[in-house]
Structures are given as C-alpha cells and as structure tokens.
Copies of this chain bind each other. A is one copy, B any other.
Amino acid sequence: MIKTMAKTKFQLARGFQDFYPQELAERRWLFEKMREVSRRFGYQEYEGPCVEPLSLYVAKSSEELVRQQTFILSGRGGEKLALRPELTPTLARMIAQKQINLPKPIRWFSIGPRWRYEKPQKGRTREFYQWDIDLLGIETPEADAELITIAAEFFKSVGLTPKEVVIKVNNRRLMEEKLNFIEIPPQLTPQIFRAIDKKEKMTERKWEKWLEEIGLNKLQTRDLRKILADKDFAGESEELTNLFSTLSDMGVANYVEFDPAVIRGLDYYTGTVFEAQDRAGKFRAILGGGRYDNLVETIGGSRISGVGFAAGDKVVEEVLRKFNKWPTINPLPTKVLVTVFNESLYRESLKIARQLREAKIPTELYLTVDKLDKQLKYANRQKIPYVVILGPEEEEKRIVTVKNLKTGGQKTYPQEALTKEIKKIIKSQMDNEE
C-alpha cells in the first residue's frame, strides 16, 4: 500500500488513518462481532459526543491520560474542550443525568472513535476505535463474571482460542489487604497501584527507585515483588472465589487466570480488574476493565456501582493478523453490472437497472458507451458476479443475456422475468456459500 501512495500536496495528519473501502469493510466486520456479542447478552447501544468539557476528564481518568494524551481544543467562547480519550466519563455523566428514569440494571455498550496523543507506531494510532461495554446497578461477582464472559465470548466469535489469548483477573480490594499486610500505609495505595501498572514498561532498577521515592523500604519492596509473583492466593478473596466459580459455570474458565500483577491504570477502579493479553505477551493489552464503585457519584449522580471493559480496534487487529484470523472482505456491494451496448440502447439498459434496483438488488449501470469487452473487463476487475447484456438481438426478442463471470457461463431470460431469476440465482449462490 505504501508503495502505491502518491506524494501529494496534502497528507494525513500524523497518527491518523484512512479507511479505504477494503479496510472499512474489515473494520466493520470487527464492529459487527462486538455488536453481536453485546446484544447476545442483552446490552443496548448508546453513543456520546466526541467532544466533552476538559474538566470531565480531570481527576476522573488517569493523570497521564489528561495531561499528556488528551487532544485539547478551545471553543470560540474560550471554553476548554477535549477530544474524548475514553468513553467511561461520558457514560457516567449520561447516567448521572437521567439516573432516576433509567431501569436498573443498566446494560450498555458503544463502539466509536477515541483520540490519544501518543507516539504513533505499529498498532497504535492517535485516532482509534474502541468498544466499551458496561453493566451498572449490580454489585456482585456474578456481574463481574458476566463482563468477563462477554470478553471470552468475543474472543470465541473472532476465532481466538484460550491457547492464543488469556484474560488475567485480579481484585484491587484483595491487593489493598495485601499491601496493608506488608504495612504499606493506605494513602500510598494509589501510587503503588500506578507503579504496579507500569512495572513491565521499565527496568527493575528504575522500578525499585520509584518505590523508594514513594516511601517503601527494601523489605516492603521485596515483599511486594513476592506478592506480584504469587499466582496462588485468589482463594483469599471471597469475591474472586465466586467470580471464578461463575466463570466456570459460564463455560469460559479456560480463558481466565488470576494474576496479582494486573492492576489497570485508571484511578477509578475499586474491585475486580482484568485485562486480556496474547499468551506470548507480544502485544499491548487487547482489552481491559474492572469494577468502579464511585465514578457516577464523582460526576454528580447518586452512588451506583458499575463494571465494564474497553477493547481498542488496533490491538485486536494486530493479534488477529498474527494468528491469520483477520478476514479479507470484498467491499463492493454490486451483484449485477448492466452493460450498455450502444447509445440507442442506453435507455433500455437503464430500465433493466431500474427494475433490478427496485427489487433491492445492488446494481451498477455502465454509464459510458464503451466496447463490451471493456465493460466486462471492468466487471472482472471489480469482481462483480453477474453481467447483464442487452444488444439489438436481445432487445428485439425482449430478452437479456446474463453472464456469470465466475464460471463464464451465460443464459438468456425474458426481460420481465429477469429480476425474479437474478434473485433466485443470488439466493442459491448465497446458500452454497453458507
């Protein structure tokens, strides 16, 4: 693709992306998978604005997200606005605004663009799409399990197996107890969580220095390391025990495991947290989420607990490509090309095209008078399955010739029966493909 890109006067903004029809068709395939699994569990789709007052994100999201990664724009009245870097604050605001009138529990999902000012690299763009899905109003491990099951069912639906991906689960309340046990004062917890979240992205030495700066002594640092490496203490949490038992009943136990090193970066999580990774750990997190008890209240609503996750399109695509599970989809809707034999038959061809379209059959009419060869070549290049030919002989007999470009075969039909016949052909072809 890069090779054929012409040097033109105007270029894409850095970190942004075009979706040519082929690319958009594939992206929409992914979105439909997300949509289908969301709806299968009874979730309703919503959408917020792409722009929010900057203040909505300050202190709600992570500091890093707001200070370094948010695209800021000024309204002409001087108001500070932001291109949404994530959707959860919008969700909380929307729920706070209509809280009394919404039946509980609230099961909502959304798929749309988000923006983060990050260094563009493979699998990371400044504009990307994200699937957000949340369940609010039920504060039990069964609710957490529903969300994790949805994540696993999504993986199944795109063909990713438990050998390829894993959902790592932890619980912040359990981790608070653990930190308490090694005598780390509770006020340090948010900083420690942030350090745990970033551990994999820095050297051991640098990480230890950070903990020292936070106020941990050598012994506590050693103990913290031990906690993070121990995969066996989930049983100490009743919440986690119930969660894993429900996940087993849901039939997705093979997709999940306990991992105390998974803590997630957003400040508003309070209980269960989880993130999905490829087993080899080559890519960034495929999706991440958790339980947030206080978010809606912070935004100005009444207290309502929620649990949810978000999955970015770019990493999912990378992982699917790695396992050869990213599809190739022909973006052209056209089923029939109606050719034009000569100028005097243009009107007749137009009528045939009109007739097919009235039956909702995607039809192109060849709009210029070219040799039939050239018209067939166009259909071949575009992979249009059927071509209708209407020459003087056909017109005299009130018939048309239908050519199947895949098989090369052709057949004639009375003009008035064409629509019915084409419908039959397309239907039988679709049945064969199933």
User: Which A residues contact B (CB, under 8 angstroms)?
Assistant: 4-6, 8-14, 16-21, 24-25, 27-28, 36, 39-53, 55-56, 71-73, 75-77, 79, 81, 83, 90, 93-94, 96-101, 103, 105, 107-108, 113, 115, 117, 126-127, 138, 140, 142-143, 146, 153, 246, 249-251, 299-301, 331-334, 346-347, 350-351, 354, 357, 360-365, 367-368, 378, 381-382
Contact = CB atoms under 8 A, between A and B. Distances in A.
A84 to B, nearest CB: 11
A10 B298 CA distance: 10
Q: Quickly give the copy total for this chain.
A: 2
Given A12-B49, A16-B49, A17-B49, A334 B71 contact: no
Nearest to A357: B40
Contacts of A331: 44-45
Contact of A4 (B21, B53, B100, B251): B100
B100 A249 contact: no
A154 B13 CA distance: 33
Contacts of A39: 333, 362
Most buried by B among A73, A115, A140, A300: A73
Given A5-B97, A18-B49, A42-B334, 13 more contacts: A6-B99, A8-B300, A10-B55, A10-B96, A18-B46, A39-B333, A39-B362, A51-B71, A51-B126, A75-B117, A76-B117, A140-B368, A146-B365
Most buried by B among A13, A46, A75, A153: A13
B76 A138 contact: no
A142 B196 CA distance: 64
A94 B143 CA distance: 45
Contact of A103 (B73, B94, B140, B382): B382
Contacts of A50: 50, 113, 115, 127
A365 B140 CA distance: 13
Nearest to A102: B20
B75 A14 contact: yes
Contact of A138 (B4, B19, B346, B368): B368
Nearest to A381: B103
Q: Which 9 residue pairs are nearest across A and B when measured between Cβ atoms? A: A9-B300, A8-B300, A42-B364, A21-B44, A39-B333, A16-B49, A42-B334, A73-B73, A19-B47
B98 A13 contact: no
Contacts of A73: 71-73, 83
Contact of A43 (B52, B142, B333): B333
Contact of A45 (B21, B45, B246): B21
Contacts of A43: 333
Contacts of A350: 246, 249-250
Nearest to A104: B378
B79 A13 contact: yes
Contacts of A93: 8, 10, 12
Most buried by B among A9, A44, A138, A354: A44
B4 A98 contact: yes
Contacts of A142: 346, 367
A350 B140 CA distance: 15
A245 to B, nearest CB: 9
A299 B357 CA distance: 34
B300 A51 contact: no
A363 B142 CA distance: 15
Nearest to A157: B360
Nearest to A153: B357
A92 to B, nearest CB: 9
A362 B38 CA distance: 9
A98 to B, nearest CB: 6
A10 B103 contact: no
A103 to B, nearest CB: 5
Given A40-B362, A367-B105, A13 B52 contact: yes
Contacts of A14: 75, 77, 79
Given A24-B45, A47-B24, A8 B96 contact: yes
A329 to B, nearest CB: 11
